[in-house]
Structure 1
Amino acid sequence: MSGLHLTVTTPMSVLVDETGVTSLRAEDRSGAFGILPGHTAFLTVLPASVLRWRSADGALHFCALRSGLLTVERGEAVAVACREGVLGDDLHALEAEVESLRAADADADRRERVEQMRLHASAVRQLMQYLRPGRPAGPTAPPFASGGEC
């Protein structure tokens, strides 16, 4: 095999379209992994992380990703579709960028959980108020509570 064809895309642009890639390193939730030419078909979700690859001339390249999807097809094509990506030569700066992205993602997850809990508590309060014994009958009573059809 002559190498991998690597493409990294965001919704707005193609960040990388390179042939002759000799190796690639990425990480998913289970940890870091490598891709070499001839790799079996593969699909995984990438969290915020740094993608590393070596081109045919031996140069090492980096791209910080904000979550994405990596696929390997026919052992020769690697495609990464991500929400955001930043190319760079300074691995330490990109790793710092990834830590910032992970923190932002964790904060968004935390806000979503709080909102979900708030909505759940509100629904439970409404159910308790609705089902409380001795509540006055009226236009808010459901059809099945007054013997009507469901």
Structure 2
Amino acid sequence: MSDLSLIITTPTSVAAQLTGLRHLRAEDASGAFGIWPGHADLLTALAISVISWRGADGREGHCAVRGGVLTIRDGAKIAVATREAVPGDDLRALERDVLARFRRNVEEEGEARSGARRMHLAAIRHILAYLRPDRRRSENPGGPFAPTPDGGEEAP
């Protein structure tokens, strides 16, 4: 029986590089799945989760990942590319602390993107109002995207 090899990389480092693994467990949008030597080639997007493995010596290892892409080649070569990875021996601590932090970070980034999107739209509205002097606020007090009397939105 051949063994698995695993490499987990982030944009700035190699979080884990192992050989001699007997099996690996990961999670994607469809749920958790296991990988044994001889697995079919695969490409999948990982969820925020903990990847776990068992080596030939029987020891287990874990690595929390902030999503990412997992590939399997030649039935034994596993590569994971992720934004952030935290290896550790304590599965409970990784699940409790690290995954919670990853999820909070994703929520905060979503809120920041939403705020940036609102500022972008406001800037576009101001630019359009400036470029279209015929539609100044005096003529249209509600602004360039104010509702029309029929309830629709008037485009500049």
Paired residue for 1:40?
40
Q: Does 1:76 align with 2:76?
A: yes
Cα distance between partner residues in 2 of 1:9 and 1:70: 11
After TM superposition, give the deviation of residue 47 of structure 1 in Å.
Answer: 3.5
Paired residue for 1:19?
19
Cα distance between partner residues in 1 of 2:47 and 2:123: 32
Paired residue for 2:103?
102
Paired residue for 1:127?
128
Instruction: Provide runs of 4+ in structure 1 moved above 6 Å.
Output: none
Q: Which amino acid aligns with 2:123?
A: S
Please state whether the residue corresponding to 2:37 is helix, strand or coil.
coil
After TM superposition, give the deviation of residue 62 of structure 1 in Å.
Answer: 0.6
How many residues of Structure 1 are paired with residues of Structure 2 in the alignment? 135
State the identity as a percent: 44
Cα distance between partner residues in 2 of 1:131 and 1:116: 22
Cα distance between partner residues in 2 of 1:92 and 1:45: 23
CA deviation digits over 1:7-51, x for unaligned, max 9? 122334333222221211111233222222111111122233211
Cα distance between partner residues in 1 of 2:111 and 2:121: 15
Is the 8 Å Cα contact of residues 129 and 135 (structure 2) preserved in structure 1? no
Cα distance between partner residues in 2 of 1:41 and 1:99: 31
After TM superposition, give the deviation of residue 128 of structure 1 in Å.
Answer: 4.2
75-84 vs 9-18, which deviates more?
9-18
Cα distance between partner residues in 2 of 1:122 and 1:74: 51
Q: Provide the TM-score with structure 1 as the length reference.
A: 0.77
After TM superposition, give the deviation of residue 95 of structure 1 in Å.
Answer: 0.8
Paired residue for 1:63?
63
